[in-house]
Amino acid sequence: MWDTFIVIPMTNLLLLIYDLIGHNFGVAIILFTIVVRAITWPLTAQQLKGTQGMQELQQDKEWLGIQKKYKNDKEKLAQEQMRIYKERGINPFGSCLPTLIQFPVIIGLYQAIIRSLAATPLSLLNLSRSLYPILDVSKIIPLNSTFGWMDLGRPESIDLFGFALPTLAIIVVITSYIQSKLMTPPSNPGDQSAAMGNMMSIYMPFLMGYFAMTFASGLALYFITSNLLGIAQYAMMGRANWSNIIPGQKK
Amino acid sequence: MKSKTIFVLMMALLLSFLLSGCSASAMRTNSWSGLNADADNAYLANGSFVYAVSLKNGTQVWRYPADKADTKEAYFANPVLTDDGQVLVASAGTGHSLASLNPANGNMNWIFTDAKGVWLGSPIVLDEIIYAPNTDGKIYALDLNGAFLWAKAIGGALWSQPVSDGELLYVTSLDHHVYAFSPRTKEVLWDLDLYGATPGAAALDADGNLYVGSFGASVTAVNAGTQKILWNSPIEGWVWDAPVLDGETLYVGDLEGNFHAFNTADGSEKWTAIKPNGPITGSPLVMDDFIVIGTESGTAYAIDREGAIVWNYPVGGRLYTAPAQAGDMILFSPMETDTILVALDLDGRQVWQFTPSE
């Protein structure tokens, strides 16, 4: 099921793009990411809207009132919250959906990259079973996994004075941090949810950086492209909060 | 907001777990066993260990490494038995090791770890020099004591054992080419595009003709002297392993599950390809009375020279590894089962099976 609907279509799309653009797997991953971002564009827009709406609620008098009034009656509080969500047209789970979509994409893409590059006999055998008949890819296998200085099927690093510097992972951390900060709306001091959001914007980039450092560098390339496209999208929608980027700066 | 944060954290942890699982799985089982045998033992390269198994009763004689598995090593290439009494085992793990073992006890004679890529193809020994193909695209030359002599880039990733006419090495590559390489001058004399990746070795006949199957779904005959293609026969599926010669007949299986017999003279099919019960990855084994193949579905087939099935036996697991002959027994190494070696007699009955103790 997972293979049929996620990994195999992704593998074939990657191979199709690879074949069309002149056998460059790095560019194929970048174009693939653009396609994924284009498909999930409405969801990302919804996420931004949801985050903004939730943030505004935190300062709303009625919202704060019901929190105080029903603090000992969880059921009633939930009912009142749902009423306000409905009245204001806010979907409390809307901001989670794009995040939810991202995970199968990341896992599927990782598997598609490893399967497409087929660095081992078993993976090459698996790849032979993953190809749609309409694609004549027997001539392009094995794929050229080199992109710049990287082997996209392996974790990336650059030797610097005898130290293996994971440059892609560092770029992933920076771009993930910028992206998460840009989408965080301005907040008031003492706002607990904003504090949690700030913690997330520190924690998540390092987690993504860890993935980028540990797994195939093709995945890191996806992260970086996706982050840059996300930043561009927020900027184009006029939602980017540039003052958030520098830690400690007054908002 | 708080619940969303917890949700995202949980999902991130799940993602981490799943990605780790993907890579760990990829590392654990990235190929299938390599198999060889001498008069006394079968030698099985099976992931973390190389086993010597007694042909008499299927018991373990030794294993390498004897104690704990080295997580950096994964043995899948067919072990090679040298005339001076060594067993050469090549690792597809990150340790990049090519080791010589004592066939009597499995003790290591020497080890070479300086290749950049991993070893998926077996080395060949010619005039007391070991020529080992590596996935970094080079042939490494070592003496029989494991001393490095030289390395020469050929092209693409080399996954298969070279074949030789005593003078030149013929090396197939994943880069779609077959190369003729002179170990004396260390030069590639010529190469030929086969229009498809070639993970399996070539077959070479006494007249200097090479026969190669590729992912281009064809079998090609090339005269090594003139470098001219003699014939090219398209088939349904990709060819994984080396075709095998039997006089003027060439046998080859494909990933669509077809088993072919070609006339070496012109590439015509001797009989309509038969289709047993699953993809065929390993080379056929030519015996006196029949030809033996294994299928992915786990069945061993004996097929006579007219294309009729003589017997079949459900070995179990997946038979990716080419069968090997050991006296009057046929050895199969199934994958995805606890039993990693099965011996059949010439009537297709099981003689013994070997399951490692741990």
What is the rounded CA–CA span in Å between residue B235 and residue A86? 63
- The domain tally of chain A equals 1
3-state secondary structure of A87: helix
Q: Which residues of A touch B47 (CB under 8 A)?
A: none
Q: In angstroms, what separates the C-alpha of B261 from chain A's closest C-alpha?
A: 23
Task: For chains A and B, count residue pairs whose Cβ atoms are closer than 8 Å.
Answer: 96
pLDDT at A50 over 80: no
Query: What was the pLDDT predicted at B26?
Result: 44
Find all residues with CB under 8 Å of B128, minimum gap 6, and list them.
Answer: B84, B143, B144
What is the rounded CA–CA span in Å between residue B180 and residue B189? 6
Is A99's CB within 8 Å of B8's CB?
A: yes
Is B15's CB within 8 Å of A106's CB?
A: yes
Its domain, for residue A67, covers: 2-244
Q: If you average pLDDT over residues A7-36, what whole number do you get? A: 92
C-alpha distances (whole Å) from A35 to each of A12, A14, A41, B299, B338 are 14, 11, 10, 44, 44
CB B19 within 8 A of CB A110: yes
Cα end-to-end distance, chain B, whole Å: 49
Q: Which residues of A touch B320 (CB under 8 A)?
A: 125
DSSP annotation of B281? -
Question: In chain A, which residues touch B (CB < 8 A)?
Answer: 54, 58, 95-96, 99-100, 103, 106-107, 110-111, 114, 119-125, 128, 138-139, 141-142, 192-193, 196-197, 199-200, 203-204, 207, 210-211, 214-215
pLDDT at A95 over 80: no
Q: If you average pLDDT over residues A209-233, what whole number do you get? A: 88
For residue A189, which amino acid is it? P
Q: In angstroms, what separates the C-alpha of B215 from chain A's closest C-alpha?
A: 6
For residue B165, which amino acid is it? D
Query: Cα dihedral angle (B70, B73, B75, B77), rounded to 10 degrees?
Result: -160
State the 10-residue block means of pLDDT for chain B, 358 residues long. Answer: 58 60 49 95 97 97 94 95 97 94 97 95 97 96 98 95 97 96 97 93 97 94 96 95 97 97 97 96 97 98 97 97 97 96 98 93
Q: Is residue A249 part of a domain?
A: no
Residue A13 tokens, joined: 């799309």
Query: What was the pLDDT predicted at B283?
Result: 98
Find all residues with CB under 8 Å of B47, minimum gap 6, and list them.
Answer: B28, B29, B33, B74, B75, B76
ipTM reported for the complex, 2 dp: 0.85
Every domain of chain B and the residues it spans: 285-358
Q: If you average pLDDT over residues A91-117, what whole number do you get? A: 74
Residue A228 tokens, joined: 């840059």
**Global pTM?**
0.82
What is the chain B residue with the closest CA to A54? B1
* Nearest Cβ partner for A139 among B8, B29, B195: B195
Q: Does B31 touch chain A (CB under 8 A)?
A: yes
C-alpha distances (whole Å) from A231 to each of A29, A106, A175, A236 are 18, 18, 8, 9
DSSP annotation of B160? S
Topology at the third CATH level for domain B285-358? Thrombin, subunit H (2.40.10)
Query: What was the pLDDT predicted at A141?
Result: 86
Query: What was the pLDDT predicted at A94?
Result: 60
Q: Is residue A219 part of a domain?
A: yes
pLDDT at A251 over 80: no
Is A99's CB within 8 Å of B238's CB?
A: no
Q: If you average pLDDT over residues A86-112, what whole number do you get? A: 73
Query: What was the pLDDT predicted at B28?
Result: 45
Is A96's CB within 8 Å of B217's CB?
A: no
DSSP annotation of B79? P
Q: Is residue A162 part of a domain?
A: yes
Q: Is residue A139 part of a domain?
A: yes
What is the rounded CA–CA span in Å between residue A57 and residue A75? 19
Cα R_g (chain A), whole angstroms: 22
3-state secondary structure of A94: coil
Q: If you average pLDDT over residues A45-70, what whole number do you get? A: 77
pLDDT digit string, tens, across residues A163-214: 888 999 999 999 988 888 776 665 555 555 556 666 666 778 888 899 888 8
Q: Is residue A250 part of a domain?
A: no
What is the chain A residue with the closest CA to B16? A211
pLDDT digit string, tens, across residues A109-164: 888 888 888 878 988 888 888 888 888 777 888 888 889 988 888 888 888 888 88
Q: Is residue A251 part of a domain?
A: no
* Nearest Cβ partner for A96 among B7, B196, B217: B7
What is the chain B residue with the closest CA to A104? B15
